[in-house]
Structure 1
Amino acid sequence: MDGRLKPAPQRSETRLAPTPWLNRNVAGMCLASLLSDLGHEMATAILPLFIVTIGASPAALGVVEGASDGASTFAKVGGGRIADQPGLRHRVASLGYLLTALATGSFALAQSWFELLVARTFGWMARGARGPCRDNLLVESVPGEKVGTAFGFHRSADTVGAILGPLVAMLLMHRIGLRGVFVVSLFPGILSAAAFFFMVREPGDGREHARPPFPGWNAAVPPAFRRFLLAVGVFGVGDFAHSMLVLRAADLMGGTASAMSAAVALYVVHNVAHALLSYPLGILGDRYQRRYLLAGSYAVDTVATIGFAIGPRSLVPLVLLFVLEGTVMAAEETLESAVATDLLPADVRGTGFGILAGTNGVGDLISSIVVGLLWNNFSAQLAFAYGASMSALGSMMLFSAV
């Protein structure tokens, strides 16, 4: 039997009547994600700096990032089951946006890295639960041949918020302090929940319908999808939180206050690349083999992570490395979900999205903790070399699977 990835046979599903792919639902999801990213990226951009000010180490940052991402894994899998239930998934996604905002704003109250860990974990669990629900709504809201385009456009919109967030943080951090920035981040987050709740509608009549009994995990995770998940998982255990790039850049540039500001500016560059390339990559994924594009992006991550391991201290090569990492993130967020859509039957697609997100969450947990510990106990070079080796292996596995 051929071990390569093949699209799953698609069963009947509820979709909106024929409509342009850029419709009210897509616009509502884009606005909600833009505002949510504006809020939590304000916090994420300054989180490494805040960790330092409360006396914690890079290992603590790795634990905070990794443990919160890992805890959200369980919420993502549960959110995947909810994503297959029309009606309920809309309410869960709306509540997820609201709770993420409240948790991020509560960072202002943290006096230790453990308190920060608790708040971050709670917020990321809410964020995890909403993701599969939103993604399945997005797929059902657009024509099938425009799924990659819709995912790319949505990821671009949410990354516009990720660009604005660090910029706002840079403008405010020296005026109102890091804790003040966390408080301000609360407001766009609350608006994001309102945008999703009032603008997005369930495809079809919007009512909850009885779904067929769950067909079992073998049906929810067909063989081709399992091979895809394995490659994604291997890549993921080396794909540490990109906020650690901010800490690495600040360290390379001297660790001064101006170096920290420059590192946050580099994170903005990262997010600009992410925003600019998500939509074009989605279009390319609809026209060509998006699995090959995704495998290629994993290879690009290998190159960029090696660059961070080498550790250039001047601005120009650091800009290039942050652009490459932004490109990789654009490909991951756009193409992984689009490839999953190809491989999953429609009636368990939400569950599959949850499992994919859960796989990424486990990878985030392992990678962020391992990289943080290697950095703290050995060296940054060894930590980033570990990340590069896992990226290379994941790329080769995905290339061989397609």
Structure 2
Amino acid sequence: MKVINRTVLILSLVSLFADIASEMLYPVIPVYLKEIGFSVLLIGILEGVANFTAGISKGYFGKLSDQKGLRVPFIKGGYFLSAISKPMMAAFTFPFWVFLARTVDRLGKGLRTAARDALLSQNATPETKARVFGFHRGMDTLGAAIGPVIALVLLFFYPHNYTFIFLVAFLPGLISVLLVFLVKERPEPSSTMAKGNFFSFFRYWTIATPEFKRLVIGLLFLALFNSSDIFLLLKTREVTGSDQLTIGAYILYNLVYALASFPMGILADRIGTRQVLVSGLAIFSLVYYLFGTTHSAWVIGAAFVLYGVYAAATEGIAKAWITNTAHNANTATAVGFYTSCESICTLLASVIAGGLWTGFGSKSTFMVTAGAAIVSMIYLLINTQKRVEK
């Protein structure tokens, strides 16, 4: 079986173009919102609501995908919603409309994520899954590196013309939607889980395998302390005093992440997902220690390189490991359950990090997270098997 087959390649290209569109707006949206009258508090509420919508809906749509035994309709709908949200942002500046546009974008992410990951899992074997997810994450993150570069170029030639940037961002988003129509899927067995309300996907825990439970407990413990990357960017801005260097560091992180993802997947398939992911957590702990103790721009740059290596060693690898511990008929539910819980934990983590930063300074935020990573690493070493077979 070819490791990177047609379906995996197309889905990876879809994610590449979708992330170019989304990440073009990442450095633009906060500035745009402030310009049209949003306070910092209102921006925070907007992003919190939008991201929570994406997070909690992943589980629901994952379960629905399993129940219908279909993936592509959810993937198509998800990428379409995200694409159409870009010109929506340019149409009106009313607060309600802006809230609606951002929520539509994040709802699209929630609609597609679990179904897409289940389809990637379907097109891999337990022995090749880390490479498949690593390749996909690499392409996805390459888009995250390209998007901000395009935004910076557009802002240089068209300063403050945010409407134009929103319209340009629609183009790669549209390409991603068109590419999805090239994806084909074979029918999957329908899930045996009973139907229920919006939150019924949480019942997956009652039928999940012991391996899945042990793994997810370790990952979610870290997620509870792994706050938004915005805190890393705030620290970078504090140390460097430069917006350009801060954005450059974020682009550097995404480039390293993109380039290292597939090699990390190859390594994980050879020596085991457990070894690579645990090593990634050790790197993560070092990164947060460096952010907590340094006042050097050079060390911050090195930390962002290591942060890209950590992400490559954990993001795709974790999904490969999770799908290898899930039941075939409930793969999307398993992914949706984990990603929904992760989103809730990340929201709480940002609140915890903000409280620590305000009350005890930035160092406390990073050192607590570094310690949590070590605890999670030790837990996974003790409580998970060296190799997980499906």
Bin for the TM-score computed over the shorter chain: 0.7 to 0.9
* 2:277 is equivalent to residue 294 of structure 1: yes
Q: Distance in 1 between matches of 2:260 and 2:154?
A: 28
Inter-CA distance 41–134: structure 2 relative to 1 (3 Å threshold)? same
Matched-pair contact (CA < 8 Å) for 1:62–1:372: no
* Alignment match of 2:225 (pick from 226, 238, 255): 238
Which stretch of structure 1 is more off in the superposition, 333-342 or 137-146? 137-146
- Aligned-pair identity (%): 26
What amino acid is the match of 1:69? N
Alignment of 1:59-208 (within 5 A): 63-85=45-67, 88-108=70-90, 119-176=101-158, 177=160, 179=162, 180-196=164-180, 198-203=181-186, 206=187
8 Å Cα contact 1:65/1:368 also seen in 2 = no
1:220–1:352 contact (8 Å) kept in structure 2:
no
Q: Taking structure 1 as the reference length, what is the TM-score of the superposition?
A: 0.83
Distance 1:263 1:104, change over 3 A: farther
Kindly indicate whether residue 240 of structure 2 is the aligned counterpart of residue 253 of structure 1: yes
Q: How many residues align?
A: 374
Does residue 1:360 correspond to 2:342, yes or no?
yes
List per-residue Cα deviations over 1:336-365 (Å, max 9, x = no partner).
111112211212222111111112211221
Contact 2:141 2:257 in 1 (8 A): yes
**Is 41-50 or 30-39 further displaced after alignment?**
41-50
Q: Per the alignment, in what secondary structure is the counterpart of residue 44 of structure 1? A: coil
Query: Aligned AA for 2:290?
Result: G
1:185: how far off? 1.8
Q: Cα RMSD (Å) of the superposition?
A: 2.8
Distance 2:92 2:249 in 1: 26
Alignment partners' CA distance in 1, 2:3 and 2:119? 13
Q: Deviations over 1:217-243 (max 9, x none)?
A: 356422221111111111111222224
> Does 1:24 pair with 2:6?
yes
Aligned partners of 1:51, 1:371: CA distance in 2, in Å?
Answer: 24
1:277 aligns with 2:260: yes
Deviation at 1:289, TM superposition (A): 2.1
- Aligned partner of 1:329 in structure 2 is 311
- In the alignment, which residue of structure 2 is the partner of 1:38? 20
Which residue is equivalent to 1:349? 331
Please give the alpha-carbon distance, in whole angstroms, between the structure 1 residues aligned to 2:334 and 2:178.
Answer: 27
Relative contact order higher in (CA < 8 Å, ≥ 6 apart): 1
Q: TM-score, normalised by structure 2?
A: 0.86
Contact 2:190/2:329, CA 8 A, preserved across alignment: no
Q: Is the 8 A contact 2:69 2:191 kept in 1?
A: no
5+ unaligned residues in a row in structure 2: which ranges?
196-202, 385-390
Runs of 4+ residues over 6 Å off in structure 1: 112-115
Check 1:49–1:392 CA distance in 2 against 1; reply closer, same or farther (3 A cut): farther
